Amino acid sequence: MSHNQLDMLTDLARDARDQAGKLLAQERQTQQQTEAQLQSLNRYRVEYAERLQQAMRDGIDPATMYNYQQFLASLDAALSRARQALAAQQKRVQQSQQHWQQEQRKLSSYDTLASRRLLEEHRRQARYEQKATDDFVTSRVARQQSDKPL
């Protein structure tokens, strides 16, 4: 694989990892919003149930009691849907997290390959320079010996 191909693959992997990170951040934000909605519904249900209890203490007609019960039932259904939505969102966050980790591992692999290639290039350059130095010293010693009278 050429140096340019590896650079291109690394750039593509970095872009994919960044996109996966953005998606993960969005999914986490959506999860937080869903949790907040669920908490609000829970608070509202508790408040409404307390109103019903107070109305029952004060005395309540059957029609009003029925309306309270129907509304509490609709709140319970909404809470159930909100819990399901939160569970689904948590699953999406987990999947996004796994996808981001996969993209990060891919990028790390390419970075490792690039580091190894760079290290090998440095070693090759060092060997080349050492050989050039050795050749220079050898030729200099040979010239000095040939210039010496016997």
pLDDT band at 12 (very low <50, low <70, confident <90, very high): very high
Which residue bears the tokens 């970075």?
111
pLDDT of 114: 87
pLDDT band at 122 (very low <50, low <70, confident <90, very high): very high
Residue 89: φ, ψ to 5°: -70, -40
pLDDT digit string, tens, across residues 75-119: 999 999 999 999 999 999 999 999 999 999 999 999 998 889 889
| Burial (Cβ within 10 Å: 0-12, 13-18, ≥19) of residue 96 | buried
pLDDT digit string, tens, across residues 28-78: 999 999 999 999 999 999 999 999 999 999 999 999 999 999 999 999 999
- The CA-atom distances, in angstroms, between 46 and each of 11, 39, 65 are 52, 11, 16
Q: Count CB atoms within 10 A of the CB of residue 100.
A: 21
